[in-house]
Structure 1
Amino acid sequence: MAAFPASASTVVPTDQLVLRAAVYAFLGRYRGQTRVHTDSDLRVFLRWCTDQVLNPLAAARVDIERYVRWLQDVRRYQASTVSRRLSVVVGFYRVCVIDAILDHSPADYVRRPTVPAESPTLGLGHLQFEALLTTARLSSNPNDFALVALLGLLGLRIFEACGANIADLGEGTATGYCACAARAARSCSSRCHPRWPEPSTGPPTTAPAGRSCATHSAGGWTDTPPPADSSTWPRPQGSGCRGCIHTCCATRS
C-alpha cells in the first residue's frame, strides 16, 4: 500500500508484512471497479493512520471514532461518503478477524452517520445549465455538446446516454425523446405494472386465475398464458402490458 512504502534495500518489519497481507486478503474479495473504489477508500484510512503514527492493526474503537470525526469535520464529506468509507474499514477489520489476525474488530460498535433517504444533491439551475450548454457548444469536441444535451434536455442517465444509438433518437409532439433500451426498461418497470387494484386501461375489474400481462402477441413478464376468453381483450399499442398506452412500451416492440 502507498501508506506504508518499503524500500528494496531495507527489511520490511513484520507488522507491515502482516498489514500488507491483510490488505491483500481484504481486496481479494472484490474485483473490477468495486475493487478499485474499495482500494481507494482503504488507502484514505491507511494514510490517516500514517499521519497519526498509528498501526492500523493496533487501533482501538476510539481511533475509528476519531477517523469518522476527521472525515466529517476536517474533510467535510457528506454522510453517504462517510458511511461508505466507514463500511470499508469495518469490512477490513472483519476480514482480519476471520483470518485470525485480530481477536476482535475495533470497528464493530462504531456509530455510523445517518444517511437521508433522499439525496441532498441539488440539480443545476436554469442559468447554470445554460452556461454548461454554452461551454459544451464552444468545445472543440462535438461529442461534448451532444452528451450535455442528452443528459440535460432528455433526462438520460450517463450510462443510458453512452449506450444510446443515433437510431434511438426521435421527435415527439412537443419535445424529443430517446428510445434506448435502458431508458425504456426503466420507464416501463416504473409505470407499466401498477399495484392492484389501481385503475387499469382494460375493461375487466376482477383478476381471473392465472392472469398476467401476457397477450396473444407477447408472452408477458410472468410467462403465464392469458385466460381462454382473452380474445375479447383490446389489442395493446406496444409489446408491453395489455392496453398499455405508454410510449416506452411502443418503442420496445
Structure 2
Amino acid sequence: MPSPEVVPRHSSSPALAAAGFLDFTEAWLGNRRLSAHTRDAYRRDVAGWLNWCGSRDLDPLRATFVDVNAYARQLEATLGARSGRPLTPTTVARRLSALSSWYEFLVRLRAVDANPVAAADRPRVDRDHSATIGLTADEVDALVAAAEADTGPTALRHRATITLLADLGLRVGELISLDLTDLGTERGHRSIRFVGKGGKVRRRALTPGTGYALDAYLAARAAAQGLSVPELTGPLLVTTTGARLDRNAVFRLVRRLARAAGIQAWAMLSPHSLRHAFATTARAEGVSLEDVQDAMGHADPRTTRRYDRDRHNLDRDPAYVIWSARARRRG
C-alpha cells in the first residue's frame, strides 16, 4: 500500500502534489473494506474533486467549506452521462460523502486540521424515496418469461442472469463478481457466496428455478468447451470470449428483455430495478422486514423500507389486522 506520508501538510502547488494525492487515495481505499465497484466509484469521486481544485489553482489541503459548497453547486448543475438530466441529490450527496471520508482520513493522519466537507451545505436526500424505476411482480414475471423465450447462443446465460437478479435481488456488482467456486451447498440448500457492501462475505439460497437456469447454462457452456461442468473454472457468467460479464452488458440485457416483454418504462430500467422489485414482492408476500433486510444486506432497516415500493399501500395498514383480531376475539 502506498504511504500516505507522500501528501504534504500544506502543499503550495496542487499540480506538484497531484501524484501524492493519487497515492494517498489508494492508501485511503486500502484502509477500508470495499467492493471493487465501490473503490472505482470513490476513486472517480475524489478525482473529480481534485480536477475541480486543479482547474482553480486551489490546494485541496487548504480548501474550506465554501469551496466544497461551490463544488457541490456545480455538481448539481452537471448533466448525467446516461440520463442527460442534472445529477440527483442522492448522487451529489454520495459524492460528497466519499469526499468527506477522504478528508476524515487526512485529518486522522494530521495532513489537514479539519474536514471541510463536514460544514458544507449538502443536498437534502429524502430517505423515504428512491429514484430507481421499480417493477411490479407481474412485470418481473414478464421479464423472466422474455428471458426464457430468448434465443441464440447466449440465451441460457441471459436466463441465468435475469433469474439471479429477480430471485435473489443481487446488486449488479455482486452478480458480475460471482465465480464458479462461489456455488455450493449449505444444510441441504444450494447456495451462492458473494462479497456484499462493506466487503462482507454473504450467502444466499438458490431457488429451484435459479438452480435450473444455472445448471442449463453451465451444462451448455461446458459442452461447448468439451468439458464436464466440474471442470469449468473462472467467472460464473462469461461472454462468448470467456471474459467476465460486465455491468454494461447486464444493463443492456435488462432493457432489451424489458422492451421485448412490453414493459412501458423499459428505457429507464436498470438491474437495480429488479432489486427493488425483490424487496417489494417479498414484503407483499408476507416476508418480515428483518428477513428482507438480511437478504439484501442492509445495515439499516430504513434502507430496506425505501426499497419496498408498496409500503404505503393501505391494503397493508395494520389497522385491518387489529380490527380482524378483535372481531375474532368477540366471536
TM-score in terms of structure 2 length: 0.41
Aligned with residue 119 of structure 1, among 114, 127, 130: 130
Max radius of gyration: which structure?
Answer: 1
Change (3 A) 1:169 1:25: closer
1:46 alignment partner AA: L
Following TM superposition, by how much is the alpha carbon of 1:110 offset from its aligned partner in structure 2, in angstroms?
0.5
Aligned with residue 30 of structure 1, among 29, 32, 35: 32
| C-alpha contact 1:133 1:148 (8 A) present in aligned 2 | no
| C-alpha contact 2:89 2:123 (8 A) present in aligned 1 | yes
| Distance in 2 between residues matched to 1:134 and 1:78, nearest whole Å | 31
Following TM superposition, by how much is the alpha carbon of 1:63 offset from its aligned partner in structure 2, in angstroms?
1.6
2:90 alignment partner AA: S
| C-alpha contact 1:42 1:89 (8 A) present in aligned 2 | yes
Q: Deviation string for 1:71-112 (max 9, x for gaps)?
A: 110232111111111011112122222211112222221111
Residue 86 in structure 1 maps to residue 96 in structure 2: yes
What is aligned with 1:167? 208
| C-alpha contact 1:139 1:145 (8 A) present in aligned 2 | no
Following TM superposition, by how much is the alpha carbon of 1:24 offset from its aligned partner in structure 2, in angstroms?
3.8
* Greater relative CO (CA pairs within 8 A, separation 6+): 2
What is aligned with 2:157? 143
Could you list the runs of 4 or more consecutive aligned residues of structure 1 that deviate by over 4 angstroms after TM superposition? 159-166, 197-201
What is aligned with 1:216? none
Structure whose residues are more often helix by fraction: 2
| Distance in 2 between residues matched to 1:135 and 1:21, nearest whole Å | 47
2:33 alignment partner AA: R
SS in 1 for 2:134: coil
| Distance in 1 between residues matched to 2:290 and 2:73, nearest whole Å | 42
What is aligned with 1:97? 107
| Distance in 2 between residues matched to 1:93 and 1:145, nearest whole Å | 44
Indicate the RMSD between aligned Cα atoms, in angstroms: 4.6
1:120 alignment partner AA: A
1:190 alignment partner AA: L
| C-alpha contact 2:147 2:162 (8 A) present in aligned 1 | no
| Distance in 1 between residues matched to 2:159 and 2:15, nearest whole Å | 54
| C-alpha contact 1:136 1:144 (8 A) present in aligned 2 | no
Q: Deviation string for 1:150-178 (max 9, x for gaps)?
A: 65xx66513698846473569xxxxxxxx
| C-alpha contact 2:167 2:210 (8 A) present in aligned 1 | no
Change (3 A) 1:85 1:13: closer
2:161 alignment partner AA: L
- After TM superposition, the structure 1 = structure 2 runs for residues 174-185 of structure 1, keeping only pairs within 5 Å, are none
Change (3 A) 1:54 1:103: same
Change (3 A) 1:148 1:90: same
What is aligned with 1:157? 169
Residue 60 in structure 1 maps to residue 71 in structure 2: no
SS in 2 for 1:122: coil
1:23 alignment partner AA: T
What is aligned with 1:190? 289
| Distance in 2 between residues matched to 1:62 and 1:138, nearest whole Å | 56
| Distance in 2 between residues matched to 1:96 and 1:124, nearest whole Å | 42
SS in 1 for 2:288: helix
| Distance in 1 between residues matched to 2:22 and 2:164, nearest whole Å | 45
SS in 2 for 1:112: coil
| Distance in 2 between residues matched to 1:61 and 1:24, nearest whole Å | 24
Residue 74 in structure 1 maps to residue 78 in structure 2: yes
TM-score in terms of structure 1 length: 0.51
Following TM superposition, by how much is the alpha carbon of 1:134 offset from its aligned partner in structure 2, in angstroms?
7.5
Following TM superposition, by how much is the alpha carbon of 1:146 offset from its aligned partner in structure 2, in angstroms?
4.4
